Amino acid sequence: MDVRLQRINKSFGAVPVLKDVDLVFPSRKFVTLLGPSGCGKTTLLRMIAGLEDISAGSIYFGDREVNRLAPRDRNIAMVFQSYALYPQMTVRKNLGYGLRVRKTPATEVDSAVERVARILEIDHLLDRKPGQLSGGQRQRVALGRAMVRKPDIFLMDEPLSNLDAKLRVTMRGELRRFHLDLNATTVYVTHDQLEAMTMSDLIAVMHKGVVQQFGTPEEVYSKPANLFVAGFIGSPPMNFLEGKIDSGRFRISEAALPLPPLTRGIAPGLDVVIGVRPQNLSFVTSAGPNALAGIVSLVELLGSEKLIEVQIADRKRISVQVRADSQIHLGQNVHVEFDTSSVHVFDKLTEQSVLEAMR
């Protein structure tokens, strides 16, 4: 079932939290709401669940407006960030509660609970209480409780944030598999861009209650709509340099760097910020108009790569990602070259991408 959010606004008292959110989540897709803490992701998810009033706008499930529908009539399931298991019930009771309260015959409840427990590999925990489980086990119970009812829409609020790093990586793959099994539209909330990139069909990047960009992971990564998205997506983060456009080149202090052909139409003299990812920078041996001169100020080994921080003119720093076996030393004089085609250009004033606007 597809979910349509139409000009959703929300304020708590006089404080606006969501502003004109307009999104369509296609049926059976894995959609992620991504943004820093406090940007309104949880609030939006709770509005979809019916736990929070809508100040203005409409939510549709399919063709049906659900603004005034009680949570239990929406056929949704939700995994809370805190898991919110029923503390006095065993795992079996926790899993089956949604079915029991909907007057499902006992035998059906039992078989559904057993089935989900087997899929999630928690069948040996069925008679324990939540207090006797580890964080990872609780998380699976919360997941199971949501899966057991075969919901149309599956809502998850940072379900992995309380797990340790290793478990988080394995659970990413599992959640993705469960999504495919469940055949439901999944709305997933996270502040972790890596989680969003690896799991989602579509990502809505949010900031201060406003949707900044809505697109596939490839789109938000390679064609960020504005400075915020460019800086939020990708790791290590994108480098930003301020300067002016001058006859198709980007002028920063002494250097004049070439820009992608598309930028020729930009008005000369425009104040811009260019963004380039550390992966798209490289070291060259000789100085030239396409390269920035600088001194290596930090070398960080990331494993298979090294992250080199270079101090360039005006005390600016940029980071360059190179292979781990590169021989770069602290204090070395280097020249950094840009991969012209992967440079992003943003209007300094509006913070919007100049390139995307021209496409």
Partner 1 sequence: MTRYTLWSATKKAALYLLLCTVTVAVCFPLIWALSTSLKPKSEIFATPPTLIPHSTTFENYEALLSGRQQYYQTGEKSQAAGPTPAQFFTRWFVNSVIVTSGSTLISIVVSTLAAYSLTRFRYWGRNMIPYFSLLGYMVPSIIFVFPLFLMMVRLELTDNLLSLVFGYVCITLPFCMWLMWAFMRSIPIEIEEAALIDGASRYQVFANVVLPTAMPGIIAASIFSMIVSWNDYLFGRVFINSLDNLTLTVGVMLFFEGTHVDWGLLMAASVLMTVPMAVLFMALQRHLVAGFGAGAVKG
Ligand X SMILES: Nc1ncnc2c1ncn2[C@@H]1O[C@H](COP(=O)(O)OP(=O)(O)O)[C@@H](O)[C@H]1O
Which residues contact ligand X by CB under 6 A? 12, 17, 35, 37-43
**Best CA proximity match to 321, nearest among 335, 339, 300, 307:** 307
User: Taking the complex as a whole, how short is the minimal distance between the CB of residue 81 and Mg ion, in angstroms?
Assistant: 6
User: Taking the complex as a whole, how short is the minimal distance between the CB of residue 42 and ligand X, in angstroms?
Assistant: 3
Alpha-carbon distances, residue 149 vs 29, 71, 74, 154 (angstroms): 19, 14, 12, 10
Is residue 213 a contact residue for Mg ion (CB under 5 A)?
Answer: no
Among residues 101, 165, 267, 301, which is the contact residue for partner 1, using CB under 8 A?
A: 101
Rounded distance, CA 79 to CA 155, Å?
A: 6
Chain-centre distance of CA 90, in angstroms? Answer: 34
User: Taking the complex as a whole, how short is the minimal distance between the CB of residue 42 and Mg ion, in angstroms?
Assistant: 3
DSSP string, 184-239: SEEEEEES-HHHHHHH-SEEEEEETTEEEEEE-HHHHHHS-SBHHHHHHSSSSPPE
17 interface partner picked from ligand X, Mg ion, partner 1, none, CB below 5 to 8 A per type: ligand X
85 interface partner picked from ligand X, partner 1, Mg ion, none, CB below 5 to 8 A per type: partner 1
Angle at 21 between CA 20 and CA 24, to 5 degrees: 140
Enter the DSSP assignment of 267.
P
User: Taking the complex as a whole, how short is the minimal distance between the CB of residue 140 and ligand X, in angstroms?
Assistant: 23
326 interface partner picked from ligand X, partner 1, Mg ion, none, CB below 5 to 8 A per type: none
80 interface partner picked from Mg ion, ligand X, partner 1, none, CB below 5 to 8 A per type: partner 1
3-state helix, strand, coil in the chain (%, to 5): 30, 35, 35
Among residues 5, 31, 42, 149, which is the contact residue for Mg ion, using CB under 5 A?
A: 42
Nearer to ligand X, 208 or 223 (CB): 208
Among residues 34, 45, 54, 77, which is the contact residue for partner 1, using CB under 8 A?
A: 77
Are 346 and 271 in contact, with CB atoms under 8 Å apart?
A: no
Are 155 and 74 in contact, with CB atoms under 8 Å apart?
A: no
- Radius of gyration (C-alpha) of the chain in whole angstroms: 24
Query: 197 CB contacts (<8 Å, ≥6 apart)?
Result: 203, 217, 221, 233
Is residue 78 a contact residue for partner 1 (CB under 8 A)?
Answer: yes
Rounded distance, CA 253 to CA 1, Å?
A: 54
Is residue 134 a contact residue for partner 1 (CB under 8 A)?
Answer: yes
Is residue 27 a contact residue for partner 1 (CB under 8 A)?
Answer: no
Is residue 177 a contact residue for partner 1 (CB under 8 A)?
Answer: no
Nearer to partner 1, 40 or 98 (CB): 98
12 interface partner picked from partner 1, ligand X, Mg ion, none, CB below 5 to 8 A per type: ligand X
Where on the chain is the footprint of partner 1 (CB under 8 A)?
Answer: 49-51, 70-72, 74, 76-78, 80, 82-89, 97-98, 101-102, 129-136, 138-139, 145, 149, 162
